[in-house]
């Protein structure tokens, strides 16, 4: 996929935990950035004609025997290079600087002192500032031709530059929010050193993608599976803008959706005038799930049944050549980088579409991060309720009924409880702050007392987490009064529930979902 800009910066990735974040921050500065493995060949890098390179951080020491390397000739091409953390050390070592283990290392907030005039990156900024560090090795002597422009207690050379050759290095992480002048430093590198002048934005992808989709699919028919989630909704809307009625969306309602969710998706897309096939497949799914208690078995059944239904609909449409997928840049990176052949990501993490259903993929969001996809969604006129929807697993409520079979009675109870939680969370204006908020129904009953009689009913567990990327998560500190309202409403309004509990576990060691 090309992008709506001629200016791009390549981030050579040494495996640092913040590498993706570097690319995101550069994009936030209005310059398109893409990650590439640090081992990418010089020819390949130059064929992209980047305005600059950034060498990322990484977990290794430059002295480790198998320390990740990069094509060092890149440093002699007068192409602007910014080394960050390990990237700076790798650059310093390659050019004859002295890099050594620095005592205890520096982790977290660290005081940074500007040296000399601070050079291009730090000149005019406060002479003392804080920055975020995470390193054991330090540069003790800058290579010839470089001037040190900052130091910290543990890093004699915490930043350096060689204006002549366009080489810059910073030991600290400008991409994390705990480095207050981080964005300023990145901006200076991008604008003053690399000379970038364009203003890239997620919205600028729209026009470009519409043209690219038209070119890719020509007069062919295209199908898109809508899941109700942000990614497939934005991808579908974008493709519809490009090719109109040649796109048909298929929405498989497996009966495991949240309250009203199916109806909302179908109504919204009908309003947009998108040809849409909505399949009510609840009965099929529930028949297959009867008696199944094992979570993995549930996932597999839901996944394969979904594919079966989708396949039947695709065959009915006849002559469909293309399948739209809402693949995101983070999926692309996780599967090994932008060059890797696309693998079909099922909505359900199991299997894929069968081999005899051969589609070429249309993946208009392949280059975008989640927050950028949201910006594109808004640009395309999708309603906030769709653009800001929290992630929802493909198997839906099927993996939120725990330790027992998934059946209609339990689904209805869970849906009703979940709707109350969502309503209160939205009313408290917490919906966007939370990564996910939902209810879980353990298939056990406990004793309660209501009116004059004893009850024997299900508990509902409230799960609400904050997270950046679902890899780690913390339990959300929901206000007590909100919890009280949710609890009493669920117990009073939902038949079959007599107890509400709150999950206060972080991930790890727990996971976000219960199954």
Q: Minimum distance between the CB of residue 355 and ligand XMP, rounded to whole angstroms? A: 22
- Is 141 annotated as catalytic? no
The answer to the question of residue 395 lying near ligand XMP (CB under 6 A) is yes
The answer to the question of residue 470 lying near ligand XMP (CB under 6 A) is yes
The answer to the question of residue 240 lying near ligand XMP (CB under 6 A) is no
Catalytic pick among 29, 85, 249, 439: 85
CA-CA distance, 7 to 20, in Å (whole number)? 19
CA-CA distance, 4 to 496, in Å (whole number)? 54
How many CA atoms lie less than 13 Å away from 123 in the CB half-sphere? 8
Task: For residue 475, give the H/E element and its range.
Answer: strand 474-475
Catalytic pick among 7, 34, 161, 175: 175
The answer to the question of residue 394 lying near ligand XMP (CB under 6 A) is yes
Residue whose CB is less far from ligand XMP, 61 or 304: 304
Task: Convert residues 402-441 into a mask of x (bound to ligand XMP by CB under 6 A) and - (unbound).
Answer: ----------------------------------x-----
Q: Minimum distance between the CB of residue 375 and ligand XMP, rounded to whole angstroms? A: 20
Residue whose CB is less far from ligand XMP, 67 or 292: 292
Q: Minimum distance between the CB of residue 511 and ligand XMP, rounded to whole angstroms? A: 3
CA-CA distance, 124 to 304, in Å (whole number)? 60
CA-CA distance, 446 to 458, in Å (whole number)? 6
Q: Minimum distance between the CB of residue 240 and ligand XMP, rounded to whole angstroms? A: 24
Q: 458 in helix, strand or coil?
A: strand
- Is 175 annotated as catalytic? yes
Q: Which of 135, 299, 374, 463 binds ligand XMP (CB under 6 A)?
A: 299
Residue whose CB is less far from ligand XMP, 77 or 292: 292
Contacts of range 442-448, beta carbons closer than 8 Å, 24 or more positions apart: 442/402, 442/403, 442/514, 443/293, 443/401, 443/402, 443/403, 443/404, 443/405, 443/410, 444/403, 444/404, 446/498, 446/499, 447/498, 448/498, 448/499
How many CA atoms lie less than 13 Å away from 335 in the CB half-sphere? 14
- Is 85 annotated as catalytic? yes
Q: If you ran DSSP here, which 8-state letter would residue 507 be given?
A: B
Total residues contacting ligand XMP by CB under 6 A comes to 14
The answer to the question of residue 391 lying near ligand XMP (CB under 6 A) is yes
Q: Which of 80, 364, 393, 459 binds ligand XMP (CB under 6 A)?
A: 393
Q: Minimum distance between the CB of residue 382 and ligand XMP, rounded to whole angstroms? A: 20
Contact stretch for ligand XMP (CB under 6 A) within 53-61, 212-220, 441-449, 507-515: 507-515
The answer to the question of residue 228 lying near ligand XMP (CB under 6 A) is no
Contact stretch for ligand XMP (CB under 6 A) within 139-147, 305-313, 323-331, 391-399: 391-399
Q: Assess contact for 50 and 35: CB atoms under 8 A.
A: no
Main-chain dihedrals φ then ψ at residue 62, nearest 5 degrees? -65, -15
**What b/e string do you get for 165-180 counting C-beta neighbours within 10 Å, with b at 16 or more?**
bbbbbbbbbbbbeebe
Q: Minimum distance between the CB of residue 471 and ligand XMP, rounded to whole angstroms? A: 8
Query: Which stretches does DSSP call E strand in 115-190?
Result: 128-141, 147-152, 155-162, 167-170
Residue whose CB is less far from ligand XMP, 366 or 400: 400
Q: If you ran DSSP here, which 8-state letter would residue 473 be given?
A: B
Q: 204 in helix, strand or coil?
A: helix
Q: Assess contact for 448 and 487: CB atoms under 8 A.
A: no
Contact stretch for ligand XMP (CB under 6 A) within 40-48, 367-375, 379-387, 393-401: 393-401
Site for ligand XMP in 339-358 (CB under 6 A): 348-349
Q: Minimum distance between the CB of residue 397 and ligand XMP, rounded to whole angstroms? A: 11
CA-CA distance, 488 to 23, in Å (whole number)? 45
Q: Minimum distance between the CB of residue 498 and ligand XMP, rounded to whole angstroms? A: 27
The answer to the question of residue 512 lying near ligand XMP (CB under 6 A) is yes
Which residues are identified as catalytic? 85, 173, 175
Contact set with ligand XMP (CB under 6 A): 299, 348-349, 391, 393-395, 399, 436, 470, 507, 511-513
């Amino acid at each position: 996929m090309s992008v709506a800009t001629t200016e791009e910066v390549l981030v050579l990735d040494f495996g640092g935990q913040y590498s993706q974040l570097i690319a995101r921050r550069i994009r936030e500065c209005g310059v398109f950035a893409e990650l590439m493995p640090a081992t990418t060949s010089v020819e390949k890098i130059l064929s992209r004609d980047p305005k600059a390179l950034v060498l990322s951080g990484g977990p290794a020491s430059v002295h480790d025997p198998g320390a990740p390397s990069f094509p060092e000739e890149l440093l002699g091409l007068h192409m602007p290079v910014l080394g960050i953390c390990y990237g700076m050390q790798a650059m310093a070592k390659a050019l004859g600087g002295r890099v050594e283990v620095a005592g205890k290392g520096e982790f977290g907030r660290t005081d940074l002192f500007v040296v000399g005039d601070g050079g291009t990156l730090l000149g005019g900024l406060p002479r003392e500032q804080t920055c975020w560090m995470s390193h054991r090795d330090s540069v003790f002597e800058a290579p010839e031709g470089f001037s040190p422009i900052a130091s910290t207690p543990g890093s004699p050379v915490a930043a350096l530059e060689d204006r002549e050759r366009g080489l810059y290095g910073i030991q600290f992480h400008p991409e994390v929010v705990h480095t207050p002048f981080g964005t300023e430093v990145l901006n200076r590198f991008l604008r003053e050193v690399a000379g970038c002048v364009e203003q890239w934005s997620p919205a600028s992808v729209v026009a470009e993608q519409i043209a690219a989709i038209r070119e890719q699919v020509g007069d062919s028919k295209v199908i898109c599976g809508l899941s109700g989630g942000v990614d497939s909704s934005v991808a579908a809307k974008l493709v519809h803008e490009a090719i109109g009625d040649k796109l048909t969306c298929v929405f498989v309602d497996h009966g495991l959706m949240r309250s009203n969710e199916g109806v909302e998706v179908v109504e919204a897309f009908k309003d947009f005038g998108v040809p849409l096939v909505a399949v009510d497949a609840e009965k099929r799914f529930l028949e297959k799930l009867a008696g199944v208690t094992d979570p993995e078995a549930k996932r597999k059944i839901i996944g394969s049944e979904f594919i079966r239904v989708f396949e039947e609909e695709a065959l009915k449409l006849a002559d469909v050549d293309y399948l739209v997928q809402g693949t995101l840049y983070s999926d692309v990176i996780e599967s090994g980088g932008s060059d890797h052949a696309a693998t079909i990501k099922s909505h359900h993490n199991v299997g894929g579409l069968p081999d005899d259903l051969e589609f070429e993929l249309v993946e208009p969001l392949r280059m975008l991060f989640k927050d950028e996809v949201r910006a594109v969604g808004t640009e395309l006129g999708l309603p906030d309720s769709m653009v800001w929807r929290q992630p929802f697993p493909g198997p839906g409520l099927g993996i939120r009924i725990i330790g027992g079979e998934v059946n209609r009675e339990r689904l209805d109870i869970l849906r009703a409880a979940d709707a109350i939680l969502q309503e209160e969370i939205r009313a408290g204006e917490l919906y966007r702050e939370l990564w996910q908020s939902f209810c879980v129904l353990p298939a056990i009953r406990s004793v309660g007392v209501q009116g004059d009689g004893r009850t024997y009913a299900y508990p509902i567990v409230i799960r609400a987490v904050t997270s950046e990327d679902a890899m780690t998560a913390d339990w959300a500190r929901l206000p007590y009064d909100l919890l009280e309202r949710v609890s009493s409403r669920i117990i009073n309004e939902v038949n079959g529930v007599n107890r509400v509990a709150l999950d206060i576990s972080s991930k790890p060691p727990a996971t976000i979902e219960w199954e």
